[in-house]
Structure 1
């Protein structure tokens, strides 16, 4: 399995993790922002009116309201990326990474507008009477590229498991086990049953659930977040300054954080921003294609609100929680992940001097690697006897203890190229923390104290479960495109069963597969958007001509 995972990582390094991938996404968003004259700004207020149903007609075709489509799409994007993704971005790129997340969202608002408009325009009514849409339909119906449409649909099915199902339940079960001690299998069983009840009802039931779930989960999360922000109100000003101060110089060393280059901040900020709001991936248009409407542009305007809510609001709030609480650059006691650690030769490293920080940064960035230890570590009552240092989570680890089966370990541990070979031996100590555990610690630095960690666990449960619900619909529509409506029931069965088993199995390889399928969805979608750029502009111009005739007294942003 490790060899397969390494092979998939190699593939991903040429697409989703390649240096040019963020530029392709941001470049598309920037192109349409200029080409369509900043629609994400000009049409923002109009989009709110559309969501409220101001321009709805009784004979509009579709399965859901504008708000339900927005809620379904949001439930697919508002997830672990908002809790864990922001923490990971700041952990690697420093506070400046949050700025690039916001830039990504601002351009993503325009990308979402374009992809949803075109998907809604070329949607179809299926044999069972429901609406089906998404990039695969404009690829087939307008571009006449059925092979590309099929490739996108297959990637969507795979991504529904890799993004929406397996990693989500794995995150939920791990969080509930750590916080409440609930067995992974129990969590998987209960939530698999609830998932089946929701998705078997199709888009109408999914929309009915998500329109209540999304506002509810956002409210719970905001209560916990603002309890931290107001508790640390004196740090908010410096937190905002830190986001912009190192923007063009890279983040300086601070506490256990040993600094990050401009490239690191840009890469992680863009990467996590795109993971959070999925602008350009082509997933949200599948949800919006179900919305009732007599023309496509208004639904595209509704989609403008998604990255704004998902990234500009929720991710900014998470970022301020992490920065104002001060946990992002502090070392905390945690179990070391083998993939995140490196045993170095020598014990004279320091993160308290400029020279020491420079040496450590050179190793972590890969610019000047330090010698890694290979051989046997001698351990006496949990204490390492050799002259070595351990890097964990991009920081110099402290107060390290070695345990096995929960007890202090005495004996030897073989190390090969800086990594321990015996995975049954645990290294515990103080180091930086990232992803969901970092956000969990931050939520305890507010008015709720230790109770704040439960808000993160509940938030993660609701966010991740709602993502699984929405992605089941994306896979459902992709299967309909590929094999017809009759294949959907079999897909749903596999989706629910896989969801259950992923609660208690390792999903590392699934995360890797997910990264590949996201890229395979995104690239043909971006190509299609640029290919149909004139169609998009003509559709928009036609919309305003007809709107002014129908609503002559209505003030328009044109």
Structure 2
């Protein structure tokens, strides 16, 4: 029996390694590059306007459809992406690929903004209303309604529903339980019970409840973490120029072994930077457009502009500050993951490890909330609205289960299905890219006419 389980784990690990190999990474980045060219660098031209729409202006009062505000939709999507990848994922990329990995994370973020934009345009354009009167949208809907390929939409929904229980649930609750136990010596079971109860309080109320909570929680947790990181950077400004020099130098040159660092080739640096960048911001995986489809908005492009700021905030802002502190202090210490990030923060500021621990708890909890909605909509697409409440109860139980189990196999399985989600989504994005371009052109022409009127 034991050997059978090991064989299954080895097979899943093999598949996961293939799924997240160079072909997938190049396809993900290549899609972002193609959309950047097609949209003439829209993410750079419209960044400030997008941030204005996301953080200042409110469109929902004049919108006729939608369940939550565009801001709440953004916060729900951010809740799922700003997570352990911003703390442990950045550290893993730098620990294996060297400081230059952060540069390649920036590349994925910059082109990923175009991908995220395209996903949201299609999600809003092809969304529909379910039997409960709520918005339903995402890759499964724009693949079915835009391409007429329902079987491919079903494939996406299956992959997403499995990934939701792994990467969006048990892996996160296990990370929280481990962090709380290590820092405060609280037993895993009590952490799990508390986390499951807090999850139930939010997700049983559906997307409107999730939107209200994430609309408050996400700004707080991001500002808390960024505030701590900025204090560390401010207290160690003399190290900043050297850190940036290392990042740019090692992005294009092999990283020599030193300290606890084993050394890295340029290909290793690129691969881990790109892989961890995609893992963090999820551009191209197809998860975020499920939340975008629930937004109250007048036009698909309005929400798409808001949605692309998610990747900017996640990768260009949060990951950059984490990576910068790691490079400033202990990138070659031999540590890895959240432990490496906590050590770097502590070296920069007494008590810095608690910023990382509390940040990890908040990030993981928010990821559970965001992914509960992604999984719910995927299950609903497959089986209808009658399964929503049973799904929510099962999702809550999985939070408790994940906090008490060793989830290395669950992580591998979830990582595999997380990558498989990208395949049907990228097919949909590439095939429907003319639709994205047309919607954008019409919107920009209308906006220009309104300005000139």
Same fold (TM over 0.5): yes
Cα displacement (A) at 1:533 = 1.4
**Aligned counterpart, 1:38:** 41
**Aligned counterpart, 1:343:** none
Deviation by residue 1:274-313 (Cα, 9 ceiling, x = unmatched): 0000000000000010000122111111112111100100
**Aligned counterpart, 1:510:** 410
Cα displacement (A) at 1:272 = 0.2
User: Residue 475 in 1 paired to residue 375 in 2?
Assistant: yes
1:19 pairs, out of 5, 17, 22, with 22
**Aligned counterpart, 1:63:** 67
CA distance in 2, matches of 1:105, 1:489: 35
Cα displacement (A) at 1:34 = 0.7
| Mapping 1:112-123, distance limit 5 Å | 112-123=116-127
Cα displacement (A) at 1:158 = 0.5
Gaps of 5+ in 2: none
Query: Number of aligned pairs?
Result: 448
- Please give the secondary structure, in 2, of the residue aligned with 1:246: helix
Cα displacement (A) at 1:54 = 5.3
Cα displacement (A) at 1:144 = 0.7
**Aligned counterpart, 1:416:** none
CA distance in 2, matches of 1:107, 1:91: 24
**Aligned counterpart, 2:209:** 205
Q: Which has the larger radius of gyration?
A: 1
**Aligned counterpart, 2:451:** 552
CA contact (8 A) 1:246 1:252 kept: no
CA distance in 2, matches of 1:87, 1:13: 19
CA contact (8 A) 2:59 2:296 kept: no
**Aligned counterpart, 1:494:** 394
CA contact (8 A) 2:74 2:306 kept: yes
User: Residue 463 in 1 paired to residue 363 in 2?
Assistant: yes
Cα displacement (A) at 1:150 = 0.5
| Mapping 1:117-266, distance limit 5 Å | 117-266=121-270
Q: Aligned Cα RMSD in Å? A: 1.3
| Mapping 1:405-420, distance limit 5 Å | none
User: Residue 440 in 1 paired to residue 342 in 2?
Assistant: yes
Mean CA deviation greater in 485-494 or 246-255: 246-255
CA distance in 2, matches of 1:327, 1:455: 17
Change (3 A) 1:538 1:127: same
CA distance in 2, matches of 1:48, 1:458: 27
Cα displacement (A) at 1:479 = 1.4
CA distance in 2, matches of 1:141, 1:245: 47
Determine which structure has the larger strand proportion and give its number: 1
Cα displacement (A) at 1:521 = 0.6
CA distance in 1, matches of 2:244, 2:223: 23
CA distance in 1, matches of 2:447, 2:43: 19
**Aligned counterpart, 1:418:** none
User: Residue 274 in 1 paired to residue 285 in 2?
Assistant: no
CA contact (8 A) 2:60 2:70 kept: no
Deviation by residue 1:424-479 (Cα, 9 ceiling, x = unmatched): xxxxxxxx1100000111111133x1x22122111111000000000000011111
CA distance in 2, matches of 1:161, 1:94: 32
Cα displacement (A) at 1:142 = 1.4
Report the TM-score, using the length of structure 2 for normalisation: 0.96
Cα displacement (A) at 1:226 = 2.4
User: Residue 519 in 1 paired to residue 424 in 2?
Assistant: no
Cα displacement (A) at 1:528 = 0.7
- Please give the secondary structure, in 2, of the residue aligned with 1:259: coil
Mean CA deviation greater in 20-29 or 214-223: 214-223
CA distance in 1, matches of 2:358, 2:122: 36
Determine which structure has the larger helix proportion and give its number: 2
- Please give the secondary structure, in 1, of the residue aligned with 2:346: coil
Change (3 A) 1:59 1:256: closer
Change (3 A) 1:479 1:257: same
CA distance in 2, matches of 1:217, 1:540: 33
CA contact (8 A) 2:284 2:426 kept: yes
Deviation by residue 1:48-82 (Cα, 9 ceiling, x = unmatched): 23223355553421011111111110010000000
CA contact (8 A) 1:228 1:445 kept: no
- Please give the secondary structure, in 2, of the residue aligned with 1:84: helix
Deviation by residue 1:363-395 (Cα, 9 ceiling, x = unmatched): xxxxxxxxxxxxxxxxxxxxxxxxxxxxxxxxx
CA contact (8 A) 1:121 1:296 kept: yes
User: Residue 28 in 1 paired to residue 10 in 2?
Assistant: no
User: Residue 530 in 1 paired to residue 430 in 2?
Assistant: yes
Report the TM-score, using the length of structure 1 for normalisation: 0.79
